């Protein structure tokens, strides 16, 4: 599943596990944890758009240099805003990298190391110091330790990186892999999803021209998002977790959410929602082991029944009674 989507937004730990659930059969959250911890086939890192993403381990090494260089400036600005000057930032990065060089470390363990070293960690300072260390290319979230995903050295956890590939080759690979999971789509969609310039997205689609077939007369702009529903049959009613990839995959999510724009809040939270007929029709929540579906419009009985059955599947996936 992760191979097909290439990168799954992962700042919500339950959310990225549920993204796997809704696109697979017979798996559990424990299987995702095993891929992160035992098989080391998946990893979470700060990649496109400066956001945490779940990716295949061997994709991390080419995605990181392609999608993160443009993040350095904004990271430095946020560090200054959080009271971390250039000297403290450089020292903090080294403290983090030294700590993970000796094995997995949880977020709180790294906070304690930074506090001892006199590096600010209050408010959002810790997050941006960790991001700065990640931008160096040797900090990722790997194994699950006591229910938390610990930070590790990428080189130690995944093995030494392969030889780098040319940027043009990486852009072509990005375009092909993106379209495998999100096509039909346009260069605008790719640029928004990957956090790259429109020119780079067009370059990637053009370079991938021997692998994909552009729509006649469209060049690198493959097909408008509004035509995407003709590409594949619609899935059955399904519960999606917070920050689900279907809400991040294209520049315009209106065909999916319609009038229910509130599933994406003004402060950038993507609520857990339900799809039926290829559209968002409800939100849902989980509290104290009880799953509640909140319709956003009148639902047919068969849709309600299907979503309730999927709710039982969600609980089973998460290992809840």
pLDDT for res 121:
98
Compute CA distances 19 → 2, 22, 36, 53, 183, whole Å.
Answer: 9, 5, 15, 12, 18
| Cα R_g (the chain), whole angstroms | 20
pLDDT for res 210:
58
Whether 248 has a pLDDT exceeding 60, the answer reads yes
At 266-276, the pLDDT tens digits run 888 999 999 99
Last-in-domain residue among 133, 158, 183: 158
* E strand segments, 163-272: 238-240
Residues 143, 55 share a domain: yes
Residues 291-297, mean pLDDT to the nearest whole number: 98
- Partner residues linked to 293 by β-bridges: 284
Residues 200, 69 share a domain: no
pLDDT for res 232:
61
Compute CA distances 124 → 82, 115, 121, 130, 266, whole Å.
Answer: 7, 14, 7, 10, 19
Last-in-domain residue among 111, 126, 158: 158
pLDDT for res 261:
93
Distance, CA of 134 to CA of 142 (rounded, Å): 13
Last-in-domain residue among 229, 252, 282: 229
At 194-243, the pLDDT tens digits run 999 999 999 999 888 755 544 444 444 444 333 444 556 788 999 999 99
| Backbone angle region of 183, left / alpha / beta, with phi > 0 → left and psi within -120 to 50 → alpha | beta
Evaluate whether 297 touches 252 at the Cβ level (below 8 Å).
no
Q: Is residue 68 part of a domain?
A: yes
pLDDT for res 229:
47
pLDDT above 70 covers a percentage of the chain that reads: 93
Q: What's the chain's average pLDDT?
A: 92
pLDDT for res 227:
47
pLDDT for res 3:
94
Residues 195, 61 share a domain: no
| Closest CA relative to residue 189, chosen from 247, 231, 252 | 252
At 45-80, the pLDDT tens digits run 999 999 999 999 999 999 999 999 999 999 999 999
Residues 251, 214 share a domain: no
Q: What is the crossing angle of helices 13-21 and 29-37, to 10°?
A: 110
Q: Is residue 163 part of a domain?
A: no
Give CB contacts under 8 A, 24+ apart, made by 60-63.
60/140, 60/154, 60/158, 61/158, 61/161, 61/162, 62/164, 62/165, 62/170, 62/173, 63/6, 63/7, 63/174
Residues 238, 218 share a domain: no
pLDDT above 90 covers a percentage of the chain that reads: 85
Q: Considering only residues 124 and 224, tell me which one the structure prediction assigns the higher pLDDT.
A: 124
Evaluate whether 44 touches 149 at the Cβ level (below 8 Å).
yes
pLDDT for res 220:
41
Which domain range does residue 98 map to?
Answer: 2-158
Q: In angstroms, how far is the first alpha carbon of the chain from the final one?
A: 26
Residues 149, 7 share a domain: yes
Evaluate whether 306 touches 236 at the Cβ level (below 8 Å).
yes
- The two tokens of residue 175 are 């375009």
Residues 60, 125 share a domain: yes
Q: Is residue 210 part of a domain?
A: yes
Number of domains in the chain: 3
């Amino acid at each position: 599943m992760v191979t097909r989507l290439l990168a799954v937004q992962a700042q919500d730990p339950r959310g990225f596990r549920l993204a796997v659930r809704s696109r697979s059969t017979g798996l559990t959250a424990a299987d995702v944890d095993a891929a992160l911890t035992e098989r080391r086939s998946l990893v979470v890192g700060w990649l496109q758009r400066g956001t945490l993403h779940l990716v295949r381990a061997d994709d991390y090494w080419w995605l990181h240099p392609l999608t993160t260089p443009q993040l350095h400036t904004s990271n430095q600005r946020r560090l200054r805003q959080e009271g971390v000057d250039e000297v403290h930032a450089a020292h903090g990065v080294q403290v983090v990298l030294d700590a993970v060089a000796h094995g997995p470390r949880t977020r709180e363990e790294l906070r304690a190391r930074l506090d001892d070293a006199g590096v600010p960690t209050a408010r959002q300072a810790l997050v941006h110091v960790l991001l700065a260390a990640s931008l160096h290319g040797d900090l990722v979230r790997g194994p699950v330790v006591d229910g938390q995903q610990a930070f590790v050295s990428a080189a130690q956890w995944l093995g030494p990186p392969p030889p780098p590939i040319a940027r043009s080759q990486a852009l072509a690979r990005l375009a092909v892999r993106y379209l495998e999971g999100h096509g039909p789509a346009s260069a605008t969609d790719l640029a928004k999803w990957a956090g790259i310039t429109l020119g780079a997205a067009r370059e990637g689609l053009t370079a991938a021209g021997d692998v994909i077939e552009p729509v006649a007369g469209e060049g690198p702009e493959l097909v408008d998002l509004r035509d995407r529903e003709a590409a594949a049959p619609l899935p059955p009613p399904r519960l999606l977790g917070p920050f689900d990839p279907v809400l991040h995959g294209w520049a315009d999510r209106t065909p999916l959410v319609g009038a229910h724009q509130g599933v994406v809040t003004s402060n950038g939270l993507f609520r857990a929602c339900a799809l039926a007929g290829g559209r968002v029709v409800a939100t849902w929540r989980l509290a104290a082991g009880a799953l509640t579906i909140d319709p956003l419009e009148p639902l047919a009985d068969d849709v309600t029944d299907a979503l309730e059955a999927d709710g039982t599947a969600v609980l089973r996936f998460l290992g809840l009674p």
